[in-house]
Amino acid sequence: MQTELPADNTHPLTAEQVEQFQLDGYLAVENLFDAEELGMMLQVAKEDRLLHEHAYGRKDSQGRESRLSLWNHPGDDLFGIVSRSRRIVDAMEQLLGGEVYHYHSKLMLKEPLVGGAWEWHQDYGYWYQNGCLYPWMASCLIALDRATRANGCLQVLKGSHHMGRVEHGRFGDQTGADPERVRAAIERLEHVYCEMAPGTGLFFHGNLLHASDANTSPDSRWSLICCYNAASNDPYKDSHHPRYTPLKKVPDSAIKQTGAAVSSAGKAFLDPVTNT
């Protein structure tokens, strides 16, 4: 594990918050984004033509579909600036113990009444296959809508990141963790429904078991998830996600200065057919 923070780290998290993350595998930070910033992000999420042109579906084991749009490099549009902001990147460096780089980001679209479930899985269950030797990886989920049990909020098994990597297999269009191992974990670990107000940020470890139910409510659940890898965990082989790429941080003030800037034509979205 990395042990030295970059000299310019602003330490947005307290020592107690870092300790809680290490113990539980996740950390919720309320009001990570204020109402003005959240309004701009929602505007971009709804109006960015390229985001919606590149969105694709993933069916759960029951055939219900959730949609997402995924890109590897952050760029200078609003979502790129958010993922490069110090409040997220410096926090990630505290949680992972050193320099990080942007692994990818995705806009998750769980629509009212039709948005499908996401099976229990670990993100590192996927990312291990990309040549990342260590689980020194984490994500920040930003709630753009209110997340509730009814609209399929994120669920986690508290402390499950201490289990290590679990074998994964295919369920519908998704890759999920070994069901037998998940059932055993559910019996022993606290099952937490992460209900969140808009603007809350949820930081979670790459080995944390998490899932979400289908959206059975009349309300949408949209979220932005920014994923990071430790710089010292540079993958040993190429994949559809980037190897180490230095991340240019921006001050938090850049978010409002950027405004509701949408994706540019050169933004590299993931093609789910070719996986590139």
When the pLDDT of each residue in the chain is averaged and rounded to a whole number, the result is 94
- Exposed/middle/buried for 76, CB within 10 Å: 0-12, 13-18, 19+? middle
Mean pLDDT of 86-113: 97
CATH superfamily for 15-234 is q2cbj1_9rhob like domain (2.60.120.620)
Phi, psi for residue 46 in degrees, rounded to 5: -85, -30
pLDDT 10s digits, 214-237: 999 999 999 999 999 999 999 999
- Residues 271, 274: Cα–Cα separation, whole Å: 6
- pTM (two decimals): 0.95
* Contact between residue 221 and residue 115 where contact means Cβ atoms under 8 Å apart: yes
pLDDT 10s digits, 12-63: 999 999 999 999 999 999 999 999 999 999 999 999 999 999 999 988 877 8
- Residues 122, 26: Cα–Cα separation, whole Å: 13
pLDDT given for residue 172 in this prediction: 67
Which SS3 state, helix, strand or coil, does residue 112 take? Answer: coil
String of DSSP letters for 225-270? EEEEEEGGG--SS--SS--------B-THHHHHH-S----TT--B-
Mean pLDDT of 86-97: 98
pLDDT given for residue 5 in this prediction: 87
pLDDT band, very low/low/confident/very high, at 117 (cuts 50, 70, 90)? confident
- CA 233 to chain centroid, in Å, comes to 18
- In the chain, what percentage of residues exceed pLDDT 90? 83
